[in-house]
Amino acid sequence: MPKNNALKTALKATVRRHSKLTFVLVLAIAASVLTALIPPLVLERAVNQLAARHALPFTLALIYFAFVVLADLAESLQDAAVTVFGQKLTHGMRTLLVQKLSRLPADYFNTHPAGETVSIFTNDGDAIDVLYSDGVISMIADTLKLAAILAVVFTRSKGLGLLLLAATPLLYLFTRWCQRRTRNAQLDNRRAIAKVNRHVPETLSCLRMIRTFHAERFMEKTYDRHIGESYAAVDRSNFIDSIYSPVVLVSQAAVVAVMMIYAARGQTYRAFFGLSVGSAVAMIAYVGQIFAPLENIGMEIQNIQAAAAAVAHINEFLNEGEWVPESLPPADNTDTVFDNVTFGYNPDQPVLKDLSFTLHPGERATFVGRTGAGKSTVFHLLTGLYTPQRGHIYLGGQNSAALKPKDRRTLYGYVPQQFDAVPGTVRDQITLFDPAIDDAAVHKALALTQLDETVNALPKGLGTPMSPDLFSKGQRQLLAIARAVVSDPDILLFDEIAANLDAVTEARISVALNAAAKGRTVLSISHRLSRMSQNGQIIQIEASTFLNKNL
């Protein structure tokens, strides 16, 4: 797969989609550069008029004031255009990230901590706005302004122009020194932030175990260490920031001092520097304008270096291998088939080895075995989340990995071990915001799971906002079954849905399952045989082997 340059792709897309904004941005930069050159020239003429003891024309003062205001307005327009352009670019970058996320293989989420991926979408995504709002575009504008001012200075004073050219390489080398150290500090900070983002969800997910084994102090020290690494990196970056501006300002004062000293030391130097009273005032103003962009460029380089690390992370994410579904011809029937399937999360250590079974439409099968034997892996393969290293898989005669997302719910319904609510109403818990599912289908699914009376008794019925206290644990499992059958799929997948349920609740769930299973192919996962495993195959998975028995 060709390497993806995220920044270039997002930039091209932004320029193409927002051509008018791009034109305004270019126009604003040009206006900002040109209007910045005019006020010192007007000031030069005004001071020369006063030095010659001529009256200062009111129009000249008005022109100076007008161009100062115009320069400020142009600068404000440039800042606004840069900010809006940066936001549009950030939106385009985040769009690329979201599109990529949907194309990643399931294995990516096994090998990459969730916090690391979240950090790419949040911290690294925000850095793109900084890259353009306070980085690249601003640096281009300041560089153009710097070049234009130097050109004007040479037309007024060759000596000052050469003096500035001599000082510029030294400032450039100093800027590069700051740049390298700032970039290293920013990289260290982002690594530390990524560690924090991984540590926090890990702590929350393992909270019970941490308390059971009294590991709070260890987790706290680990968190403090990561935060300390971030603080140390930020301190190094802030140190560079703190010394850069003073060095630039001292250099500015030194250039002005040298210019004024040599301009007053005789006719030769005076002619070389070419300074009248008015031009001296103008050159001092230009020197200030030269060092201001240089100072800004240093700060912009710091922002660029910080964002460069983020762009590197984003490019790595966008260049991750993508999910490529197994290319299989359609089956001649609608059977669910595992044909000598071998699969391992590590290819050298297979979880399933040469697993084969066939279910005809309407048949049932229950997978049993110890924890970690590979029962859930079978479901991951059936639903197309993983591709086997060897063998072929058909779900209802189709290659589920190649199915379009909108076609999946009509092929199979999945009931997990515990119900995961989504933000929204009770209706949304069942439809999952699918506009193709109407209320009639929702009520039918609720009636099948014997939840219709419970939902009708709610204050707003299906429109009641979902909250944890609306349903008991057993009712939430029934709600999960309703979610699975509402699209009337041909196949149902049940993953340990009776785990941790009492006998009474399990019996109620069993009734709903049997009602939902009528006329459908049903595959279940269970650690133990139960009333839900009646009238079907039992496929025992143990240590990469299996036994297939008919009941």
- Please name the amino acid found at residue 406: K
Q: Is residue 330 part of a domain?
A: no
Torsion angle, CA of 13/16/20/25, rounded to 10 degrees?
50
Kind plus residue range of the DSSP H or E element containing 524: strand 521-525
Any idea which residue has 């980085």 for tokens? Answer: 135
Residue 341: closest CA among 327, 328, 355: 355
Looking at 102-157, list the stretches that DSSP marks H as alpha helix, in order from N- to C-terminal side.
106-111, 114-119, 125-133, 136-156
Query: Is the residue at 325 inside a domain?
Result: no
CA distances from residue 28 to 17, 34, 89 in whole angstroms, order as listed? 19, 10, 18
User: Final residue of a domain: which of 318, 351, 381?
Assistant: 318
Q: Kindly state whether residue 347 falls inside one of the protein's structural domains.
A: yes
Shared domain for 348 and 297, answered yes or no, is no
Same domain, 287 and 350: no
Burial tier of 435 (Cβ tally within 10 Å: 0-12, 13-18, 19+): exposed
- ∠ CA 330-334-336 to the nearest 5 degrees? 95
Dihedrals phi, psi of 341, to nearest 5 degrees: -85, 130
Q: How far apart are CA 8 and CA 279, in angstroms?
A: 44
Sheet holding 545-550, edge to edge: 412-415, 491-495, 521-525, 364-368, 537-542, 545-550
Is residue 324 assigned to a domain?
A: no
Beta bridge partners of 392: 339
Report the alpha-carbon angle 158-161-163, nearest 5. Answer: 110
Per-residue pLDDT of the chain (551 residues; tens, 9 = 90+): 445 566 677 778 888 888 898 899 889 889 988 888 888 878 777 777 777 777 767 787 888 888 889 988 988 898 888 888 888 888 888 888 888 887 888 778 877 877 788 888 887 877 777 777 667 777 788 888 888 888 887 777 777 778 777 877 787 778 778 877 887 888 889 889 888 888 888 888 888 888 888 888 998 999 999 999 999 999 998 898 888 878 877 887 787 777 777 666 656 666 666 666 666 677 777 777 776 676 677 667 767 776 777 788 888 888 888 877 666 676 677 888 898 899 888 778 888 888 888 889 888 888 887 877 788 889 888 888 888 888 888 888 888 878 887 788 889 999 888 888 999 999 999 999 998 899 999 999 999 888 888 999 998 999 999 998 899 888 888 899 899 999 989 899 988 776 656 667 777 777 887 788 888 888 988 765 555 555 678 888 865 444 444 44
**Packing angle of the helix pair 19-51, 58-101 (nearest 10 deg):** 150
- With vertex at residue 291, the alpha carbon angle to CA 147 and CA 48, rounded to the nearest 5 degrees, is 80
* CATH code: domain of residue 141: 1.20.1560.10
The answer to whether position 280 is within a domain reads yes
13, 126 Cβ separation under 8 angstroms:
no
- The number of helices, as runs of H, and strands, as runs of E, in the chain is 19, 9
Are residues 407 and 283 part of one domain? no
Query: Residue 285's pLDDT is what?
Result: 76
Domain ranges, residue 453: 336-550
Residue 406 counted as domain residue = yes
Which residues, in sequence order, are bridge partners of residue 338? 357, 393
* pTM check: above 0.75: no
Q: Are residues 412 and 298 in the same domain?
A: no
Instruction: Give the model confidence (pLDDT) of 71-126 as tens digits.
Output: 889 888 988 888 888 888 888 888 888 888 878 887 788 778 777 888 888 878 77
CATH number of domain containing 348:
3.40.50.300
Domain boundary among 291, 318, 345: 318
pLDDT (tens digit, 9 = 90+) per residue, 255-314?
Answer: 777 777 766 665 666 666 666 666 667 777 777 777 667 667 766 776 777 677 778 888
Same domain, 196 and 245: yes
Nearest CA among 147, 136, 134 for reference residue 37: 147
- Answer yes or no: do 215 and 308 share one domain: yes
**For position 462, what pLDDT does the model report?**
92
Task: Give Dmax (Cα) for the chain.
Answer: 115
Token pair of 32, please? 């900002």
- Is residue 329 a part of any domain in this protein? no
5 within 8 A of 54, measured Cβ to Cβ: no
Whether residue 223 sits in one domain with residue 169: yes
What pLDDT does 46 receive? 77
Q: Which of 318, 346, 370 is the last residue of a domain?
A: 318
- My answer on whether 263 and 165 are in the same domain is yes
Do 311 and 364 sit in the same domain of this protein?
Answer: no
In a domain, residue 328? The reply is no
Same domain, 147 and 115: yes
Number of domains making up the chain? 2
Cα 405 from chain centre: 23
Angle between helix axes 473-485 and 439-448 (nearest 10 degrees) is 130
Q: Coil, helix or strand for 353?
A: strand
User: Is the C-alpha dihedral spanning 134, 135, 140, 144 positive or negative?
Assistant: positive
Quote the CA–CA distance of 278 and 283 in Å, as a whole number: 9
Nearest to 364 by CA among 546, 497, 532, 529: 532
Please measure the distance between the N-terminal and C-terminal CA atoms of the chain and give it in whole angstroms. 49
Do 366 and 524 meet the contact criterion of CB atoms below 8 Å apart? yes
89 lies in the same domain as 203: yes
Same domain, 298 and 411: no
